Amino acid sequence: MMDVIFYNASQVVTVASGGRARSGAEMRDIGVIEDGAVAIKDGKFTYVGPSDGIDISDADRSINAFGKTLLPGLVDSHTHLVFAGAREEEFARRIAGATYAEIAASGGGINTTVKATRAASKIELIEYALHRLDSCLGFGATTVEIKSGYGLDFENEIKMLEVINELKDLHVVEIIPTFLGAHTIPFDYKERREEYLRLVLDEMLPEVASRGLAEYCDVFVEKGAFSLDEGREIFTKARDLGLKVRVHADQITPGGGSELAADMQAASADHLDNISDEGIARMKASGTVATLLPGVSLFLGEEYPDARRLIDAGLPVSVATDVNPGSCMSENMQLMMSLAALQMRMTMEEVITASTINAAAAVDRAATHGSIEEGKQADLLMFDTPNFQRILYHYGVNHLNTVVKHGNVVMEKRYANA
Ligand code: NIG
Ligand code: FE
């Protein structure tokens, strides 16, 4: 007896990949089954195939997916969704013409959120984050990476990571914690850069590692944030302590961040608006996923990263939101997918791969997440659309109908009867 069977789906988009990221042209092969069915038992997929290949009475619950499309649960592999305060005022300044960099240089930006986050209690941070996770899930993300990076002193970076870890028990979205103590030099260490670096290296990292508070270490490698040498030192120490690596790389300037990511065997290098040819070649060799964040380009009114160049060069490309109060205030993965197609000239098939299996690979979970394959963890979405293309094409609205996380139906759209 199965736990749940979805049947008669107009399309089942399996993204079956054998448990690994897809690169280059392979990204366009997403394994669509027409009139498909999916069965789930004990948290795993047990059948994926045509509807007439399975007996729908052999389940505790069978869901008629007629006219609907099934997709693997989306993975949002890059967020900063634990924070306090908001930055509408800076938003207004940007609309009036100020740039993100100018606002940061004038003492705003990340440091504005650092002040608010330091002042907030754990309970407050949890409360804000739970709302944002509801929003992530409501648009289809069943697994979400979350970074620290708004504490930027020992006490508050640890506080943020404790919050991120506590969310695991409080929300159905699966959470992957990342330590981003090297997000920027905080305002109160402005004249004490070396001291802040020592704090990250000698105090924060050992505490994070010994308490198992993060799976990854991230560094914002950028002019005005952390240099290549500083990034290398932090990542080397993090890896020695058993943390894995992901990088904010080549966002505003081509600083060699993607080359560093490759050297450090990073799971993912993110942003990449200014990646060099050398960076592309090195990332290809190291198997590092290229995570693009089109919501940032939209929000900051900047040029979009060149996805075509990366895919055509054979890199596995992924798409994420970067939810944060400064450069992308949105949890909407469906919007990011439309932007990826419309603004980064990715094919719709590539966008599906980028937000499922490749996003899972960006958090080292391609073997268990990101595709609908027998034996894999049952994270499944049902959309109110007759095909996957409609999700991207009919943009700016939420097409999600039902969410299954780890085999459990955790969200269902319902309308009142008249
Ligand atoms: O990923 N690039 C650096 N950090 C964030 C922005 C953080 C903020 O402005 O609060 C990002 O875009
Ligand atoms: Fe980010």
Using a 6 Å cutoff on CB, does residue 299 contact ligand 1? Answer: no
Q: How far apart are the first and last CA of the chain?
A: 35
The answer, yes or no, to whether residue 224 has pLDDT greater than 90, is: no
| 244-288 pLDDT tens trace | 999 999 998 888 999 999 999 999 999 999 999 999 999 999 999
Distance (Å) of CA 387 to CA 12, 35, 68, 143, 391 = 9, 11, 7, 23, 8
For ligand 1, atom 1: residue with the closest CA: 322
Percentage of the chain exceeding pLDDT 90: 96
**Is there a contact between 69 and 391 (Cβ–Cβ < 8 Å)?**
yes
Using a 6 Å cutoff on CB, does residue 248 contact ligand 1? Answer: yes
Calculate mean pLDDT across residues 310-332: 98
How far apart are alpha carbons 175 and 367 in whole angstroms?
Answer: 17
How far apart are alpha carbons 254 and 271 in whole angstroms?
Answer: 11
For ligand 1, atom 8: residue with the closest CA: 326
The answer, yes or no, to whether residue 295 has pLDDT greater than 80, is: yes
Using a 6 Å cutoff on CB, does residue 225 contact ligand 1? Answer: no
Using a 6 Å cutoff on CB, does residue 326 contact ligand 1? Answer: yes
What integer pLDDT is reported at residue 418 of this predicted model? 61
How far apart are alpha carbons 336 and 135 in whole angstroms?
Answer: 14
Using a 6 Å cutoff on CB, does residue 350 contact ligand 1? Answer: no
The answer, yes or no, to whether residue 186 has pLDDT greater than 80, is: yes
How far apart are alpha carbons 201 and 243 in whole angstroms?
Answer: 13
Would you state the CATH architecture of domain 2-72+370-412?
A: Roll (2.30)
Percentage of the chain exceeding pLDDT 70: 100
Strand order in the sheet with 216-220: 74-76, 141-147, 174-182, 216-220, 244-249, 268-271, 289-292, 317-319
Q: Is the pTM of this model over 0.85?
A: yes
Using a 6 Å cutoff on CB, does residue 322 contact ligand 1? Answer: yes
Q: Encoding tokens for residue 37?
A: 């069915």
CB count within 10 Å of CB 9 equals 25
Calculate mean pLDDT across residues 81-85: 98
- Ligand showing the shortest atom-to-Cα distance for residue 326: 1
CB count within 10 Å of CB 263 equals 18
CA of 234 to the centre of ligand 2 (A): 17
- Classify domain 75-362 at the CATH superfamily level: Metal-dependent hydrolases (3.20.20.140)
CB count within 10 Å of CB 417 equals 4
How far apart are alpha carbons 311 and 391 in whole angstroms?
Answer: 22
DSSP 226: B
CA of 405 to the centre of ligand 2 (A): 25
How far apart are alpha carbons 412 and 380 in whole angstroms?
Answer: 12
136 CB-near residues (< 8 Å, 6+ apart)? 76, 79, 81, 144, 173, 321, 323, 331, 333
Secondary structure (DSSP) of 41-56: ETTEEEEEEEGGGS-T
415 CB-near residues (< 8 Å, 6+ apart)? none
How far apart are alpha carbons 189 and 187 in whole angstroms?
Answer: 5
The answer, yes or no, to whether residue 414 has pLDDT greater than 90, is: no
Closest by CA position to 278, among listed 250, 319, 320, 252 = 250
Calculate mean pLDDT across residues 357-362: 98
Kindly give the pairing relationship between strand 141-147 and strand 74-76.
Answer: parallel
Distance (Å) of CA 237 to CA 46, 182, 206, 240, 259 = 42, 13, 9, 5, 18
Q: Encoding tokens for residue 285?
A: 């060799």
What pLDDT band is residue 234 in, cutting at 50, 70 and 90? very high
Within 13 Å, how many C-alpha atoms sit on residue 122's CB side? 13
Angle (CA) 20-21-27 rounded to 5° is 130
CA of 151 to the centre of ligand 2 (A): 15
CA of 68 to the centre of ligand 2 (A): 33
Scan for tokens 């890199």, then name that residue.
Answer: 315
**CB-neighbour burial class of residue 93 (10 A; exposed 0-12, middle 13-18, buried 19+):** middle
Q: Where do the structural domains in the chain lie, given as residue ranges?
A: 2-72+370-412, 75-362
The answer, yes or no, to whether residue 172 has pLDDT greater than 90, is: yes
CA of 328, closest atom in ligand 1: 12
Q: Which residue has the higher pLDDT, 297 or 223?
A: 297
How far apart are alpha carbons 28 and 31 in whole angstroms?
Answer: 9
